[in-house]
Structure 1
Amino acid sequence: MTIKAVNEVVAGVKLAKDVHTPLGGLLLHKGKVLLPRDLEVLKAFMVEQVDIESVDGESTRIPTVKSAGQKPALIFAESSQGSGDEEAPSRKDLPLHEEYDKTLTLVKSCYQSAITGELRMYEIRNQMENLLKHHKDYQILKFIPRMTNRHDYRYHSSVLCALSSYKLAQWLDLPQKDWMQVAFAGLLHDIGNAKIDPILLNKPSKLTDEENEEVRRHTTYGYQILKNVAAVNEGVRLAALQHHEKVDGSGYPLGLEGSKIHIYAKIVAVTDIFHAMTLDKFYRNAQSPYLVLEQIQLEAFGKLDPKIVQTFIRKVTALHSGTKVRLSNGSTGEIVFTDSQHPTRPMVAVQGNIMNLMQQRQIYIEEVIS
């Protein structure tokens, strides 16, 4: 092991110890082979020296074969680190999108049949099983449906909530028997809207008190539709009823406090807000997913379950270094470091310069590109 000043370190050496930020956060893992962008990160955090592995007194530099057209800065191998739950094979999105489209079509028909109180749960379960076979390929910040329009907003929201709620149930270590039921909760939480006048649901101007009261009834309508459906458990029914309840008792329809709200409803409350704000509606354009996560984080204080919120934000932002993003100022760059204390404000390399979004608060990530 050799201790070297960061200014003397070259790309390709391997870290012998973890490197931490001045505030104690983990910056780079032991065993990490340093790339040029890693050296920039170390300097940006004002790390003065690091411990690197050595052989016979010399630091080990690990070259790899340079492929045709590869940038010189990337000719050193990066050590194999776990890439987090949000990573997935890059070429497996086609089956996911195909099953997503089938599920979307089925949800549309279910909204029509729900008006008469009939749900084709056998078909729904089979299709959900087909969709969830590809859940590892579903990355919440990256997935974009192939065909979207504002008329289908609520159906897209339902399918996306199903996928995201399924993953969130796993991240929260819920028993496996709950995973599919939580996915049903996400898929069917807004089914009561089938009985609400579409003109009210899509009204661009502020609702009157009477109109608002009618829209809020979608929660009780949803519970009534699901109460005689044998294929779902009580948690799914309660998610339809309670997903607008708040842990401080300020929600609706019953004004329940945190301990009285079912865990499924708490999960769906988070995914519902996220997808509602990141999809185009009749009266509002989609918002930046990173800004939405920040708003959800603010909601966690007294409104949403804080553990569920923090788990959701931490997991969905666990993108590997090198993930390409588009910023609100129009520039594109790559994520080089994400501080676990501020996951929505990573450091981004743009044309050779590192931007610390914690310091430049006026700029935010508009879109995850790849």
Structure 2
Amino acid sequence: MRVMVKELQEGCILSADVYSKTNRPIMKKNTVLNNELINILKLFLIRDVHVEKTLINGMPYTPIEVLDDENLAASKEESEQEALRLSDLFLIAVQKYKREFKSWQAGLPIDISRIREIILPLLEKMETSTSEIFTLHHFSTKEDYIYQHSVAVAIFSAFIAKKLNYNKGEIVQIALGGCLADCGMAKISNTILFKKTSLTVNEFEEIKKHPTHSYKMVQNISLLRDSTKLGIAQHHERLDGSGYPFGEKGNKVHLFAKIIGTADTFHAMTSERLYRSKQSPFKVLEMMSEDQFGKFDPVVLKALMSGIMNFSNGSKVKLSDGRVGEILFIDEKAPIRPLIKLLNSNEIIDLGKHRHIFINEVFTEASN
């Protein structure tokens, strides 16, 4: 929806790029606004901007005036449907998960029924919002990353499981496993969890205990299958034996753990964190399949990749340097690095030869 800049508040999320008098945006879509950024918009004399209907804290954003005439004329039913976008449900779910996490920190046991209530609406929405799944990393903030991560891992784990043709019951179990894989972080000191600089060796050793803590917290939950519990315990194990806590390798790592571990790494590397900047999803997939070759199951990785690479010749994309183009040709051997024609200049760029440039995102109909 389009609103006046004077009505913005901290936590608003831009739903479209903001331009001034240049061809490059002064602020990009999915930016989470704070008072400093709002003041910058005012300094640039920006009158109005497009924002999401949900704040970053999961609460609805209700400005006094909405400028879009079509929105004002929309029926109540259409408005409700728009409000149920996956990103809105995700932000709301994060706040619910945050409350559960804090209860675990206080020593209370996991209420699995509440976790199901958080996750199931997301799985239902995922059926019709596949492309939106791969924009969730934009909503990660340094302060709430740990909560956002668990909800996102649940969604990505379910997506992979669906691509691998698991049945509905198994998909729900894998999603629950993804959501609870890091529940053991509640047993780690907040001083370590929310440290703003890189962890020391000793601090990282404490973090590496979280899969064991997580398993102990879920081991007596009867509604979780043994395979789900094993997936939680092993989600940081890697096929080459380089993972933790036990250094398991190959077939000793359960398939549920391979799925959750792939989802966990993908979201972590694409998200803004306390001591690490987010990276392009396309760059991350390339790193996971090439730089970290041998750590992740190639079948699982391909299932994840099939979602983010759901584009074809003619698809519009935004590159890591901010330029926009359309795909001319996709090489099956290197689908992440297609041939791109820039829209402004008609220049042809072969991403296979320009390794420092990546696709940042593919434009869907909703983002055009």
Of 168, 174, 178 in structure 2, the residue corresponding to residue 182 of structure 1 is 174
Indicate yes or no: 2:346 matched with 1:357.
Answer: no
**Closer, same or farther: CA 176–234 of 1 in aligned 2, 3 Å:** same
- How far did residue 280 of structure 1 move? 0.5
For residue 139 of structure 1, report the CA deviation from its aligned partner: 2.1
- Shift of the 314–341 alpha-carbon distance from structure 1 to 2, 3 Å rule, reads farther
Distance 1:172-1:201 versus aligned 2 partners, 3 A rule: same
* Bigger Cα Rg: 1
Change over 3 Å in CA distance of 1:337–1:160 after alignment to 2: farther
Write the distance in 1 (CA, Å) between the matches of 2:136 and 2:83.
10
Deviation, 1:161, is: 1.1
Post-superposition offset of 1:297: 0.5
Q: Is contact 1:325-1:365 (8 Å) kept?
A: yes
Label 1:199 to 1:108 Cα distance change in 2 as closer, same or farther (>3 A): same
Structure 1 residue 262 corresponds to structure 2 residue 271: no
User: Cα–Cα, structure 1 residues 344 and 321, in superposed 2: closer, same or farther, change >3 Å?
Assistant: same
Confirm whether residue 103 of structure 1 aligns to residue 93 of structure 2: yes
Match of 1:74 in 2: none
> Are the aligned partners of 1:185 and 1:235 in contact in 2 as well (CA < 8 Å)?
no
Provide the TM-score with structure 1 as the length reference. Answer: 0.70
With over 3 angstroms needed to count, the CA separation of the structure-2 counterparts of 1:163 and 1:190, relative to structure 1, is same
The answer as to 2:121 corresponding to 1:127 is no
Percent identity, aligned pairs only, is 34
| Alpha-carbon shift at residue 92 of structure 1 (Å) | 5.9
Q: Distance in 2 between matches of 1:196 and 1:348?
A: 46
Where do 4+ consecutive residues of structure 1 move more than 4 Å? Answer: 145-148
**Distance of aligned partners of 1:343 and 1:216 in 2 relative to their CA distance in 1, 3 Å threshold:** same
More helix per residue = 2
| Amino acid in structure 2 at the alignment position of 1:120 | D
**Which letter maps to 1:289?**
P
CA contact (8 A) 1:247 1:304 kept: yes
Shift, 1:339, TM fit? 2.4
SS in 2 for 1:119: coil
Structure with the bigger RCO (C-alpha within 8 Å, sep 6+) is 1
Q: Which amino acid aligns with 2:178?
A: G
Consecutive unaligned residues in structure 2, runs of 5 or more: 1-80
- Which letter does structure 1 place at the counterpart of 2:88? E
Cα shift at 1:206: 4.1
* Partner Cα distance (1:345, 1:172) in 2: 24
Q: Measure, in 2, the Cα distance between the counterparts of 1:260 and 1:167.
A: 23
Q: Contact 2:130–2:307 (CA<8 Å) still a contact in 1? A: no
Matched, 1:345 2:337: yes
The code of the aligned residue for 1:123 comes to R
Question: Any conservation in 1 of the 2:140–2:271 contact (CA below 8 Å)?
Answer: no
Partner of 1:329: helix, strand, or coil?
coil
Give the number of equivalent residue pairs.
280
Corresponding residue of 2:224: 232
Shift of 1:305: 1.2
For the pair 1:218 / 2:210, whether they are aligned, the reply is: yes
Output the CA distance in 1 between the equivalents of 2:219 and 2:108.
10
Alignment match of 1:368 (pick from 354, 362, 366): 362
Matches within 5 A, 1:243-262: 243-262=235-254
Query: What is the RMSD of the two structures over their aligned residues, measured on CA atoms?
Result: 2.2
Superposed counterparts of 1:1-370, under 5 Å: 94-115=84-105, 116-136=107-127, 137-139=129-131, 142-144=134-136, 148-298=140-290, 301-351=293-343, 352-370=346-364
8 Å contact from structure 1 (residues 170, 179) kept in 2? yes
- Tell me how far apart the structure 2 counterparts of residues 183 and 296 of structure 1 sit (CA, whole Å): 21
Does structure 1 retain, via aligned residues, the 8 Å contact 2:319–2:359? Answer: yes
- Judge conservation of contact 1:300–1:309 (CA < 8 Å) in 2: no
Q: Provide the C-alpha distance between the structure 1 equivalents of 2:321 and 2:137, rounded to a whole number of angstroms.
A: 25
Q: Structure 2-normalised TM-score? A: 0.70
